[in-house]
């Protein structure tokens, strides 16, 4: 338990410090823009590139792992979406955002730093793969569902054409592609560039987690909508269970990859959901409440997953193959 506290306390401590700062210094959210730019366009891309480019190329083509984790995310989304449709009067645009609350975790800001701290450098590649394919899924699913439901401000054809550009030009995915090319060609940057990338890499976790805490603090919490406990339970409990069952059922995976998949699936709803809700002007305040409550609840659930992973209480081969 002391090891788990040693892992979880600094991690959630950074989020808490950001939250406290956001509550004390009530700056407008736009004041956070430069830190977000640094994290999104420089620090985390450097982290992805540095770790992936040094990984043997054969480890990057693990399609069974990609299928299991992406399908787990989609299934959690589907459960939350169906629940929202059945309880919310069949409103597809609102149910889409609610589906994202139940399926799309904070795999960008929280995922890689936590996986690396908890499981070591070997967790970098599976964490990056999960991020890339979850982002591809969400950036494809959300605009498509909104266009089909008539909530988008542009025709379906333009939406379909815009999806590949949004996915491929994301800085994390560009960095991952560059890392894969570097791994394939066994290219190493010059020493000065490597040191710069290492500095950026080391800054990724503290800056990302602090920014996440500030972002959560600035989200208004008017009330707790009745559907949020169910959606958050799908995200924090059902999603990691689905990921674990799929990854262990497939078999043949390194335990670190299995644990990374489960840990990434246990993360709370991503701040990106609020951005999507704001873009379509749907479920905005409730979406922000979901991020705040999900992040708070994840202190318990993610700590539990860390305990199960670090103590070996979560078997990597429960089917005894």
pLDDT of residue 252: 86
- pLDDT score at 68: 96
CB 65 within 8 A of CB 247: yes
CA distance from start to end of the chain: 29
270 vs 210: CA distance, rounded Å = 15
Q: pLDDT under 50 in the chain at which residues?
A: none
- The helix-helix angle for 191-217 and 111-119 (nearest 10°) equals 110
- β-bridge mates for residue 269, sequence order: 105
* Of 318, 84, 39, nearest in space to 201 by CA: 39
Residue-level pLDDT at 151: 63
Helix (H, G, I), strand (E, B) or coil at 269: strand
Beta pairing partners, 105: 269
Say which residues have a Cβ less than 8 Å from residue 69's Cβ, sequence separation at least 6.
126, 129, 130, 133, 134, 243, 246, 247, 261, 264, 265
Q: Which of 120, 138, 129 is CA-nearest to residue 270?
A: 138
Residue 156: per-residue pLDDT:
65
The Cα–Cα gap between 61 and 39 comes to 27
pTM of the model: 0.83
CB atoms within 10 A of CB 63: 8
Q: Which CATH architecture has domain 2-310?
A: Up-down Bundle (1.20)
Burial of 61 (0-12, 13-18, 19+ CB in 10 A): exposed
Residue 52 in contact with residue 180, Cβ under 8 Å?
A: yes
262-296: b (≥16 Cβ within 10 Å) or e: bbbbbbbbbbbbbebbeebebbbebbbbbbbbbbe
Q: What pLDDT does residue 102 have?
A: 95
259 in helix, strand or coil?
helix
Give pLDDT, residue 283.
85
Please list the alpha-helical segments (H only) found in 39-120. 44-53, 63-87, 92-103, 111-119
Q: What does the alpha-carbon distance between residue 303 and residue 267 come to, in Å, rounded to a whole number?
A: 10
Q: Where are the domains of the chain?
A: 2-310
């Amino acid at each position: 338990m002391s090891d788990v506290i040693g892992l979880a306390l600094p991690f959630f401590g950074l989020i808490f410090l950001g939250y406290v700062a956001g509550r004390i210094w009530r700056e407008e959210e736009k004041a956070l823009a430069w830190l977000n730019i640094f994290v999104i366009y420089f620090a985390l891309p450097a982290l992805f590139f540095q770790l992936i480019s040094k990984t043997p190329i054969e480890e990057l083509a693990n399609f069974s792992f990609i299928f299991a984790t992406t399908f787990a995310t989609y299934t959690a989304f589907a459960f939350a979406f169906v629940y929202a449709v059945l309880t919310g009067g069949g409103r597809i645009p609102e149910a889409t955002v609610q589906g994202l609350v139940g399926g799309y975790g904070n795999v960008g800001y929280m995922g890689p730093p936590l996986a690396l701290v908890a499981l070591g450098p070997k967790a970098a590649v599976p964490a990056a793969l999960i991020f890339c394919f979850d982002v591809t899924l969400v950036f494809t699913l959300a605009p498509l569902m909104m266009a089909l439901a008539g909530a988008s401000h542009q025709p379906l054809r333009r939406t379909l054409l815009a999806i590949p550009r949004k996915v491929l030009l994301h800085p994390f995915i560009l960095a991952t592609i560059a890392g894969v090319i570097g791994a394939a060609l066994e290219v190493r940057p010059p020493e000065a560039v490597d040191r710069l990338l290492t500095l950026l890499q080391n800054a990724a976790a503290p800056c990302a987690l602090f920014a996440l805490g500030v972002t959560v603090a600035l989200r208004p919490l008017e009330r707790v909508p009745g559907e949020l406990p169910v959606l958050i339970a799908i995200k924090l409990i059902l999603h990691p269970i689905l990921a674990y069952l799929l990854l262990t059922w497939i078999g043949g995976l390194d335990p670190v990859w299995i644990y990374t998949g489960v840990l990434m699936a246990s993360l709370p709803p991503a701040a990106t959901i609020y951005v999507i809700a704001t873009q379509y002007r749907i479920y905005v305040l409730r979406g922000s409440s979901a991020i705040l409550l999900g992040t708070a609840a994840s202190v318990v659930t993610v700590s539990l997953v860390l305990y199960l992973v670090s103590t070996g209480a979560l078997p990597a081969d429960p089917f005894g193959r």
